[in-house]
């Protein structure tokens, strides 16, 4: 009897410690929205895109899910200076009396700027636009606010909208890359500029908010949504959608209306993967700012004091800076026992890190 009891005790201990029975969380996988088809050819870790052929307007609608624990979100700033086009013109189609033809008054050449930004930021896999700032016209209604917090401080870039628009309900998206979560809430100026609430932010409008750009009609749309307890950012992009269609697309993706935001004024949305010429919705105006999702491998903490950060993935690389013990780093790439901890060539030894 004693032998049987000992056998059962040993067996129970082995079963308890067996790796086969250990519960491991499955890797994140985006749920395909009803009616959409997965775009597997552009899938990245932490980023999945889907497309849907609409019934009437002939354009495709796109939904991209970004799992924030697997992705780093950053603003990408263009080096192209602001372009002034004088007073805004409405309508933009004007008759040239000398030629007796209709001339489209295009505001800028957008793709060249966007393509250069993609070349300059090869690590970013998925990009989407936020309000535009480098076209200056006295009455533009396309610009809201952006917030970017870095080691150097917090910067607010603000554009302009008509006073009647700014009196309407507004929203804000705040993404905290350290906690890898996002939130969409009613606009609060104090929270928007705070350095403690997040390090990336965009100001926008609530769905169905009346704006002077005729937001009820079909036009290019960029809507953002947050789901899964703040872990998933959903980007909706369409060449020709109404506000109702854009909001419904996010609803179908599991994003309630209170977690939705229209990120631009309408008519100028763009989404893209970082492939030459690859855009879901072609940029309609020059893009001085894009937001980008860079897939990451994991996050870790430094285990020693004054860890050397080198400019190459080997011990011969020059030391560019040092990290204190306990500092959290983001790992973008591993190579020969070394880990790249930024979007620059900054490497540390994997053996001196502890995965979170």
Could you tell me whether strands 83-84 and 135-136 are parallel, antiparallel, or unpaired per DSSP bridges? parallel
User: Does 16 reside within a domain?
Assistant: no
Return left, alpha or beta for 121; rule: phi > 0 is left, psi -120 to 50 is alpha, else beta: beta
pLDDT of residue 320: 93
Residue with the bigger pLDDT between 345 and 12: it is: 345
pLDDT tens sequence across 5-57:
555 554 555 444 444 444 566 789 898 999 999 988 777 889 999 999 766 65
Tell me: do 236 and 322 sit in the same domain: no
Q: How confident is the model at residue 158 (pLDDT cuts 50, 70, 90)?
A: low
Same domain, 175 and 202: yes
Answer yes or no: are the C-beta atoms of 266 and 220 closer than 8 Å.
Answer: yes
d(CA 263, CA 18): 49
User: 195 or 293, which is more confident?
Assistant: 293
Q: Please tell me whether residues 291 and 304 are part of one structural domain.
A: no
Q: How far apart are CA 88 and CA 106, in angstroms?
A: 11
pLDDT in tens, 103-133: 334 445 667 888 888 898 888 999 998 764 4
Quick one: pLDDT at residue 112? Answer: 81
Q: Read off the pLDDT of each residue in 169-174 and give the average, rounded to a whole number.
A: 90
- Name the DSSP class of 44: B
CA distances from 35 to 55, 273, 356 (A): 11, 22, 37
CB within 8 Å of 336: residues ≥ 6 apart: 313, 314
pLDDT for the residue numbered 33:
92
In terms of domains, do 281 and 306 share one? no
At residue 136, does pLDDT exceed 70? no
How many CA atoms lie within 13 Å of 270's alpha carbon, on the beta-carbon side?
Answer: 28
Count of domains observed in the chain: 2
- State the alpha helices, DSSP H only, in the chain: 2-17, 110-120, 163-166, 189-193, 243-252
Token digits for 321? 């800076």
pLDDT (mean) for 170-184: 91
Residue 304: domain span: 298-355
Would you say residue 102 lies in a domain? yes
> Does the residue 30 lie in any domain?
no
- The answer to whether residue 27 sits within a structural domain is no
pLDDT tens readout for residues 249-305: 999 999 999 999 988 656 668 899 999 888 888 887 667 678 999 999 998 999 999
Q: What is the pTM of this model?
A: 0.81
Rounded to a whole number, what is the distance in angstroms from the first to the last CA of the chain? 46
- 99-108, 164-173, 187-196, 311-320: the lowest-pLDDT one: 99-108
Same domain, 192 and 263: yes
Tell me: do 41 and 121 sit in the same domain: yes
Nearest to 62, CA basis, from 223, 220, 238, 242: 238
Closest CA to 128 of 227, 193, 200: 200
Same domain, 210 and 263: yes
- Residue 318 in domain: yes
Please give the full DSSP string across 332-353, using - where no structure is assigned: -EEETTEEE-SSSS-EEEGGGE
One domain, residues 172 and 280: yes
Share above pLDDT 90 across residues of the chain, in percent, rounded to a whole number = 37
pLDDT of residue 318: 93
Q: Please tell me what DSSP assigns to residue 317.
A: S
pLDDT at position 89: 39
pLDDT of residue 196: 72
CA pair distance 143, 63, nearest whole angstrom: 23
168 and 265 fall within a common domain: yes
Residue 343 is assigned to a structural domain of this protein: yes
Listed range (61-65, 193-197, 290-294, 326-330) with the worst mean pLDDT: 193-197
Please state the φ and ψ torsions of residue 117, each to the nearest 5 degrees: -65, -35
% of residues, the chain, pLDDT over 70:
73
Same domain (yes/no): 129, 168: yes
Mean pLDDT, the chain, whole residue set: 79
Residue 77 pLDDT class (50, 70, 90 cuts) = confident
H runs (alpha helix) in 72-125 = 110-120
Lowest mean pLDDT among 1-15, 52-66, 148-162, 167-181: 1-15
pLDDT at 208: 87
């Amino acid at each position: 009897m004693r032998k049987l009891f000992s056998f059962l005790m040993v067996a129970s201990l082995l079963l308890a410690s067996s790796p086969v029975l250990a519960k491991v969380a499955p890797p994140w996988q985006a749920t395909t929205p009803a009616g959409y088809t997965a775009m597997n050819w552009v899938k990245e870790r932490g980023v999945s895109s889907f497309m849907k052929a609409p019934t009437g307007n002939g354009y495709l609608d796109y939904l991209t899910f970004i799992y924030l624990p697997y992705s780093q979100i950053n603003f990408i700033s263009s080096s192209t200076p602001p372009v002034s086009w004088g007073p805004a013109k409405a309508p933009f189609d004007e008759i040239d009396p000398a030629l007796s033809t209709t001339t489209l008054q295009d505001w800028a050449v957008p793709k060249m700027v966007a393509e250069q930004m993609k070349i300059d930021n090869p690590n970013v896999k998925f990009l989407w636009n936020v309000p535009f700032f480098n076209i200056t016209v006295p009455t533009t209604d396309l610009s809201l606010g952006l917030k970017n917090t870095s080691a150097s401080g917090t910067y607010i870039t603000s554009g302009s909208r008509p006073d009647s628009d700014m009196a309407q309900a507004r929203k804000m998206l705040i993404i905290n890359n350290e906690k890898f979560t996002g939130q969409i809430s009613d606009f609060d100026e104090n929270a928007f500029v705070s350095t403690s609430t997040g390090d990336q932010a965009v100001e926008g409008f609530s769905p169905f908010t009346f704006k002077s750009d005729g937001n009820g009609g079909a036009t290019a749309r960029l809507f953002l949504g947050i789901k899964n307890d703040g872990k998933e950012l959903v980007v909706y992009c369409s060449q020709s959608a109404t506000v109702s269609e854009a909001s419904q697309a996010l609803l179908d993706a599991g994003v309630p209306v209170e977690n939705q935001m229209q990120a631009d004024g309408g008519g100028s949305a763009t989404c893209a993967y970082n492939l030459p010429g690859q855009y879901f919705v072609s940029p309609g105006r020059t893009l001085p700012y894009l937001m980008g999702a860079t897939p990451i491998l994991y996050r870790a903490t430094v285990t020693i004091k004054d860890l050397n950060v080198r400019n190459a993935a080997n011990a011969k690389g020059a030391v560019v800076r040092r990290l204190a013990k306990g500092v959290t780093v983001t790992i973008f790439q591993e190579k020969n026992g070394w880990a790249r901890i930024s979007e620059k060539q900054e490497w540390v030894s994997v053996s001196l890190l502890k995965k979170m």
